[in-house]
Structure 1
Amino acid sequence: MPSALPLGAPAPADGILDPQAADGAGERPFSLYVHVPYCTVRCGYCDFNTYTATELGGGASQAEYAGTALSELDFAADVLDRSGLPQREVSTVFFGGGTPTLLNPAELGSLLGRARTLWGLAPDVEVTTEANPETVTRESLARLAEAGFTRVSFGMQSAVPHVLKVLDRVHRPERVPQVVEWARAAGLAVSLDLIYGTPGESLSDWEHSLTEALACEPDHLSAYALIIEDGTKLAAQIRRGEVPDVDDDDHADKYELAEERLSAAGLHWYEVSNWARTPGQECRHNLAYWRGSDWWGVGPGAHSHVGGVRWWNVKHPRAYAQRLASGVSPAAGKEALDGDTRYVEDVLLRSRLAEGLPVAGLRPEGRTAVAGLIADGLIDAPAAFAGTLRLSLRGRLLADAVVRRLLPD
């Protein structure tokens, strides 16, 4: 089942944000995330807030979803205005899920069009949709580009059939280069998502997936270690001994191979799990998350953050639709982050970026840890001496341990 929402304070029915949300808002970029909670099949490793078409009805169906999400966009614009925030153009939009491309291009385009009407889109706006390779056609990708989309992120995950089977992925490996070609013909930038460390995946399997992905010459590539989430089908299979558990050493070997192959192909890492061909092809939407910018998350279970105020929507699509139909906020809870929490999150997220953290911005206990991190080869020594804490390759493998040393209890 999907993961649980965090605990927090009750969210106001009118959606009004805490006063701190407006402080300095004019200097911060503003982004939108749109969650589309539908999938053809729920993958065995996934704990995202997703549902198959047969699970839902009564106001929560896939066919009704675009209209409901449009209502939240209208609600968002009203809330931001009543909360005293300045009008800001949208700098990035990201459609995630789920499988956003289960909605047709006209529906996705209507959501983007409403954002354009309500706020305006920045001249260099980045608009991304995730896509399962089996849910797009040459025509649908062309129509998305015509609607204003600029990027597509294909969930490739692996090029090896037996690995895809363990993950419950339904696309065929040979479909990926075909959809990449269609996306390029439409003028869309292309990102590929890979997963490594699937039970039964050998190092040669992973190398084959990297080879096939690089043959598509993507502008951007994400490679994520498989994490076994409680409550998923894959977790139950491991518990019953039907498939082997994941292995940290295996993850490390595969990450090092990814860095070797991707850097040799001209892609540079800019976040621990993300590589881009040029700085201009880095995912600016995800950078907005890691840098603590402002975004409004549309959809059931979607999270939002504006000026240190964070909230999250009710998870079930039916409850989400009912709240909006009643004219009340779909938010289930919220929290206003204090200075300590914002510092911890800033270190946690920004330390994962290649741009690094200013050493001078660390608190005393963090600055004290820098010498030891250099000695242990976890951060780049020349960069640290120049005033920036930047992970080494070894540090990327042990990023969580680096954060623990920067943020001791």
Structure 2
Amino acid sequence: MSKTVSFCHVLAAAFAVALPGQLLAADIKIGEINSYSGLPAFTEPYRKGWQLAVEEINAKGGINGNKLVVISKDDAGKPADAVTAANELVSKEGVVMLTGAFFSHIGLALADFAAQKKIYYLAGEPLTDAIVWSKGNRYTFRLRPSNYMQAAMLAEEAAKLPVKKWATVAPNYEYGQSAVAVFKQLLSAKRPDVEWVGEQWPPQGKIDAGAVSEALEATKPEAILNVTFGPDLVKFVREGNTRGLFQGKTVVSFLTGEPEYIDPLKAETPEGWLVTGYPWNGVDTPEHQAFLKAYQAKYNDYPRLGSVVGYALMQSAAEVLKKANSTDTEKLIAATKGLKVGTPFGEVTFRDIDHQSTLGAFVGKTAVKDGKGVMVDYSYRDGAKYLPSDDEVKKLRPQN
């Protein structure tokens, strides 16, 4: 009997070697990296989102009968730590793909790692356009609507406003620089009469909000583009309110309508800002209602945008693996190109030409209701409608 068992084990091992990358009866391990200690307001709901998705995926049979397992690591908001974590996940844990990241410079570091190690990487949150265009590579795909996409949505509305003199404030790193540059490009194209009168570049997480507010006021703008978020946003709003910076001025603001960032503002939320965000309690589509019900049942809490991103990211990863029916990197890449995935915001497509998904965003205005910041007058903008043409993308993205 023991010889028979041993022979079967040898046969099984030989079979596994003979079919590299094919899905066998085993756990499928995905590596996940994020700035959990660096920005918990977003990443904690994000983790809850992907954990819910993994639970649902496995309850429905996993990946073609195999259990999906996620091994998660904290990058502490540092690119070097993210690359170290990625290396450990690939070399020691044997993950078949990498997912995640929040900050844009970390996403770029992981994309570069993916290209060097020839490992598939599905970025969730990093918003810089470079990750799919100027520094894009064949191993990297991105879920969230990019800076270009959100800037295009906001510029479309900002161009209708009668203001001409604009000032900007953004964190001085890849995300902030990219967001300001593309918004200026798109708005100026629509409104050649616009004048850019000043800009402020506070360090991420270390804004001197009083000095920034004074400097912006000194430029005498009619409108302000704000790209600060998290604790920096709270400080900026508080000082701006105190100093009357926003009175009589138009403010356009990336991300401010996301619960992660508008909730802490409470009654201090400025009214009438044009923002992108997520009005979670007002989205009544069947896809979102199913997600909301499941999320609230599991966590007894309402979702933030991070929750949606985490959930949709793991659903996307699972669909890639199912379609590929393999863990081979080249087959994962091929499976993602043109892949359609259901999300709480509806079906999205991962584009072949630049590996960007067509996930959209909500655009609306800020208001205060019952002492809380909320989004009003909002609508969902389909990401596919806010991407450049294929000819333009070919100029922006290297051939790889």
Same fold (TM over 0.5): no
Return the TM-score normalized by structure 1.
0.29
